[in-house]
């Protein structure tokens, strides 16, 4: 039971960052968007883990696993795409800070008719890396879809979420 209380307190800490409009740090008192000034924050080790799922057919998963897709090695291509996406997050998400990433890992768990995509992103910086992890998962999923759409146009990418993050003054957070 103490663990649920800790998770609740941790979520409260994450939700109460720098008050702006409604407590959202990217909005000023008038509701206008702005990039948060992190110049006064101390650089600390930051880690975020995100995941998502590509849902397809068992036949397509078998093609991916055996290298039978016409476009080539889908998992290797998606891994590189996810890493590249993490590095380019600030170019894609308007209010994201440009960060010096120290590591990006993209892993896959292959199921019968789905592939889970897991991204772990690390940095020593003044703001978190959860957007980089989410972007890595999203683009890896899009790349997998691109590589299988000819054999399964009904495939879909689902359940993209942050699993856990740590670092900075608010410490650790994990999805309950």
Catalytic residues: 146
Residue 96, marked binder: yes
Residue 130, marked binder: no
Residue 144, marked binder: no
Do residues 55 and 141 lie in contact, with contact meaning Cβ atoms separated by under 8 Å? no
Do residues 36 and 127 lie in contact, with contact meaning Cβ atoms separated by under 8 Å? yes
Query: How far apart (Å, rounded) are the C-alpha atoms in residues 164 and 122?
Result: 12
Residue 97, marked binder: yes
- Contacts for 144-150: CB closer than 8 Å, 24+ residues apart: 144/54, 144/64, 144/74, 144/75, 144/78, 144/115, 144/117, 145/54, 146/71, 147/69, 147/71, 147/72, 147/74, 147/77, 147/78, 148/56, 148/60, 148/63, 148/64, 148/69, 148/74, 150/70, 150/71
Query: How far apart (Å, rounded) are the C-alpha atoms in residues 78 and 155?
Result: 15
Residues in binding site: 95-97, 131-132
Residues in binding site for substrate: 95-97, 131-132
């Amino acid at each position: 039971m103490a663990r649920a209380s800790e998770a609740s307190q941790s979520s409260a800490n994450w939700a109460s960052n720098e008050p702006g409009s409604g407590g959202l740090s990217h909005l000023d008192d008038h509701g206008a968007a702005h990039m948060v000034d992190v110049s006064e924050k101390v650089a600390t080790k930051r880690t975020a883990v995100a995941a998502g799922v590509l849902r397809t057919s068992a036949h397509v998963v078998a093609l991916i696993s055996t290298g039978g897709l016409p476009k080539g090695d889908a998992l290797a291509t998606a891994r590189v795409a996810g890493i590249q996406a993490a590095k380019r997050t600030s170019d894609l998400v308007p209010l994201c800070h440009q960060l010096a990433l120290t590591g990006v890992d993209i892993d896959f768990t292959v199921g019968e008719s789905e592939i889970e995509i897991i991204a772990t992103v690390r940095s020593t910086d003044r703001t978190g890396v959860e957007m980089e992890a989410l972007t890595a998962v999203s683009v890896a999923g899009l790349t997998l879809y691109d590589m299988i759409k000819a054999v399964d146009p009904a495939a879909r990418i689902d359940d993209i979420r942050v699993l856990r993050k740590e670092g900075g003054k608010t410490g650790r957070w994990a999805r309950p």
